[in-house]
């Protein structure tokens, strides 16, 4: 009985051990093949993650370096942009200051010349249109008024140089004496630039180059004073009683004349083949040192096919306003046009166009009237 009682617990304990052992073995048994692939894939992914951990860290360093490198140009660009903005602000401030300055009235405006009426409603305070051959006056407006003539002065400068028959290939050097200390005008001919007399004459007449004109007078035999004296003597010989020159560029407002006198000068200068060629030249290049400088004519009408200009010259300083003289063939006639003290940058050209159309219409009307 006792043995039987003992056998039962032993059996139960053994059975429990067997169950536990079976459970352990079941836990340790390999999973089915179908489940092995995901496990392997997961393990591979984990391994790949571990393998890529170091490159990822390295990539982060590279990225930080790349960001730093990208930041450097960005900072440089920001500095450059800031400088550009400051420069723009300075320019805007300068433009605002210039705009705020009151416009300086010309001598003609101060004298009330612009209040004079004319049939063409010209913007020029002074005008004279005449037939060069017959001296018939076709249009006049304040033609006796004596005013500053700006760079129209250079037409007399060119006439004196041309009539002197000096060697045009002689080299002349621009010096500090040729710098404009009165108006502070700009010039691309730096001190030390070496050009021939012919090139200086070309630039003075075509592009109204002030240093070129001054150098021509300064290097003239006898010096600048003699040159200016010859300008005044030639004016008197042409009957220009209202004219006075004090220097060869026209920068001084003391250089003065009238439309009547300037018409006489245009008539004389138009007889000079060299002056006709240089004043109507559309453009010209000069070599200065190692640079090639391109110059253009200050009168755009020389490129206009509707115009047949034999000689021309423009001029401007604030005291004189915009000025223009021309000799041109209009309606079969040699016409001299003098426009002084024109208000507005392009108004003298617009006035010239009004004159041309008016002369051509007058010619057409007279032709029709004279037809049988």
Could you tell me which residues are beta bridge partners of residue 256?
Answer: 148, 244
Could you tell me which of 353, 369, 339 has the C-alpha nearest to residue 142? 339
Classified as helix, coil or strand, 338 is strand
Q: Which of 151, 252, 253, 257 is catalytic?
A: 151
Sequence-distant contacts of 302-310: CB under 8 A, at least 24 apart: 306/356, 307/356, 309/280, 310/270, 310/276, 310/280, 310/334
Distance between CA atoms of 130 and 143, rounded to whole angstroms? 11
Could you tell me which of 209, 231, 222, 223 has the C-alpha nearest to residue 162? 231
| CB-based burial, 229-257: b 16+ in 10 Å, e otherwise | ebbeebbeebebebbebebbbbbbbebbb
Looking at residue 300, what DSSP letter applies? Answer: G
154 a catalytic residue = yes
Classified as helix, coil or strand, 177 is helix
CA dist 56 to 44, 47, 279, 286, Å? 18, 14, 76, 65
Tokens for 108? 């003609």
Token pair 């940058």: residue:
345
Q: Which of 124, 154, 258, 342 is catalytic?
A: 154
Q: Which of 208, 252, 253, 257 is catalytic?
A: 208
Distance between CA atoms of 223 and 210, rounded to whole angstroms? 17
Distance between CA atoms of 339 and 142, rounded to whole angstroms? 10
208 a catalytic residue = yes
124 a catalytic residue = no
Q: Let me know the angle formed at the C-alpha of 113 by 108 and 118, rounded to the nearest 5 degrees.
A: 135
Asked if 129 and 336 count as a contact pair (C-beta separation under 8 A), the reply is yes
Tokens for 90? 């300075």
Residues known to be catalytic: 151, 154, 208
């Amino acid at each position: 009985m006792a043995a039987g009682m003992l056998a039962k617990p032993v059996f139960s304990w053994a059975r429990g051990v067997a169950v536990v052992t079976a459970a352990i073995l079941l836990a340790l048994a390999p999973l089915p093949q179908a489940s092995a692939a995901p496990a392997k894939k997961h393990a591979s992914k984990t391994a790949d993650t571990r393998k890529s951990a170091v490159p990822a860290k390295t990539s982060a360093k590279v990225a930080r370096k790349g960001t730093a490198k990208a930041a450097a140009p960005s900072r440089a660009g920001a500095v450059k942009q800031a400088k550009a903005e400051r420069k723009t602000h300075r320019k805007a401030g300068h433009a605002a200051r210039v705009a705020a300055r009151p416009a300086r009235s010309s001598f003609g405006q101060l004298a009330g010349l612009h209040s004079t009426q004319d049939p063409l409603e010209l913007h020029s305070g002074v005008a004279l249109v005449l037939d060069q051959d017959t001296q018939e006056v076709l249009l006049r407006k304040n033609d006796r008024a004596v005013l500053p003539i700006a760079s129209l002065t250079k037409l007399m400068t060119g006439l004196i140089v041309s009539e002197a028959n000096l060697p045009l290939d002689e080299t002349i050097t621009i010096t500090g004496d040729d710098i404009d200390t009165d108006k502070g005008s700009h010039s691309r001919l730096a001190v030390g630039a070496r050009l021939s007399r012919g090139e200086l004459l070309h630039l003075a007449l075509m592009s109204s180059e002030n240093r070129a004109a001054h150098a021509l007078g300064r290097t003239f035999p006898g010096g600048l004073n003699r040159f200016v004296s010859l300008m005044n003597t030639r004016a008197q010989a042409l009957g220009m009683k209202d004219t006075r020159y004090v220097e060869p560029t026209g920068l001084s407002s003391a250089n003065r004349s009238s439309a009547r006198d300037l018409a006489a000068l245009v008539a004389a200068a138009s007889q000079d083949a060299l002056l006709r060629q240089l004043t109507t030249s559309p453009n010209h290049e000069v070599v200065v040192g190692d640079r090639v400088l391109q110059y253009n004519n200050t009168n755009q009408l020389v490129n206009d096919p509707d115009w047949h200009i034999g000689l021309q010259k423009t001029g401007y300083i604030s005291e004189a306003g915009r000025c223009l003289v021309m000799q041109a063939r209009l309606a079969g006639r040699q016409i001299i046009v003098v426009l002084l003290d024109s208000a507005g940058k392009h108004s003298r050209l617009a006035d010239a166009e009004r004159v041309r159309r008016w002369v051509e219409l007058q010619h057409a009307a007279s032709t029709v009237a004279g037809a049988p």
